[in-house]
A = this chain, B = another copy of it.
């Protein structure tokens, strides 16, 4: 099952079931995170589907009219793992880690699958194509099996990073937490469509040119291991999301380093889930704190 969050004409959002070429069937929840937080949400989807088949309820939104919001606009936790692909770790000149390197961002960073990435005051805007794992259960000090069962599904993200800000201090947060810079979507594909341990092919393109490619089968810390680890110190809840890190090929690792320019189009794709395509707008100019 593929779920999305759509913007509505009334300035709000709605969760929706993606129905292939046909479009999106609105569901009675404001976004995918809110849907997942309801017990029995799968029955809710089944009911909406039965109503639609019977010609009742909300009509399907045609794909070409759908306006994709960030998948989880109200996510309580957006936790990211760095240095998780063996090839990217080597690219950055580091050794394979014993523990996952984690950092946090807030839901304000998130944008939809076709939204513009709006950057203010950075000259080193870089890409990080990533598999996003959407949490579907409350996880507190969960073992790996419980964490695996607590994965609601998977989505595509790009942890766009302002390297100048990221490298100002030892802590990456400020370069990772720019509002409206992290596309997340286009849909969440439910975990039941993939066997545990399934590898996702993740790719990133700039203006159509392939710059990143990796497979999550090579992750040092896979989805269930990451969720279990994080849940040892903080509770994960339905609608939270964990970004699993990026494969080799980021701009900062190139020789010479390469960064996104105003007007560039960043594409991020995972086979079996979908594709993000986001234009980049970089606003320089007055920056009160510099």
Interface residues, chain A, with chain B CB atoms under 8 Å away: 76-77, 79, 82, 97-106, 108-109, 120-121, 140-144, 162, 165, 168-174, 177-179, 225, 228-235, 287-290
Contact = CB atoms under 8 A, between A and B. Distances in A.
A235 B102 contact: no
B289 A169 contact: no
B168 A99 contact: yes
* Residues of A contacting B: mostly: loop
B288 A233 contact: no
Contact of A235 (B82, B169, B173, B179): B179
Contact of A97 (B97, B169, B179): B169
A288 B228 contact: yes
A205 B233 CA distance: 25
Nearest to A228: B289
28 contacts: A76-B106, A99-B169, A101-B170, A102-B171, A103-B103, A103-B173, A104-B105, A104-B106, A104-B177, A120-B141, A120-B232, A120-B233, A121-B232, A121-B233, A141-B288, A144-B288, A144-B289, A171-B172, A174-B233, A177-B234, A178-B233, A179-B234, A225-B289, A228-B288, A228-B289, A231-B289, A232-B287, A232-B289
A101 B232 contact: no
Nearest to A285: B141
Contacts of A170: 101, 170
Given A99-B169, A142-B288, 13 more contacts: A101-B171, A102-B174, A104-B105, A106-B234, A109-B234, A120-B141, A120-B233, A121-B232, A144-B288, A144-B289, A174-B230, A228-B288, A232-B287
